[in-house]
Amino acid sequence: MELVAYVGTDKENWGQITALINRFECEKVVLIASKNTEDFPINEKCEVIKVDSGKPLVALKDELLEKLRKRISGDFEVACSLASGNGKEHMALISALLSVPVGIKLVIYTKEGVQFLS
């Protein structure tokens, strides 16, 4: 399973994504980052897709879809973190993933470890 996470400019939520990257056992991590997002720590299993989150929602979804189709391996579902970013960015990401098409399992990191919200 691959992990797809949106990394917004809200640095207070980056710890959630970092914990998932470091503790979730997955084949690949695809990070979607706003062009204004800087200094997010990445490791060797991360691929970063930069997007213009200032675009209108439909245009942002189309940009994400084009870039994600090239990077998602074709599994039936991906783990998705929405801990960072805003509602428009989340809607664009979910819509793009469903259009790939792949299923989505929402994932978080808690004191008990990695958990799926389904």
pLDDT at 77: 92
pLDDT at 42: 80
CA distances from 94 to 13, 18, 24, 78, 80 (A): 19, 20, 20, 11, 9
CA distance 99 to 73: 14
Q: What is the pLDDT of residues 78-102, one digit of tens each?
A: 999 999 999 999 999 999 999 999 9
CATH class of 2-117: alpha beta
Task: Tell me the residue ranges of DSSP E strands in 8-112.
Answer: 28-34, 46-51, 77-81, 103-110
Residue indicated by tokens 């805003």 = 86
Q: What is the mean pLDDT of the chain?
A: 92
Helices (H) and strands (E) in the chain, counts: 3, 6
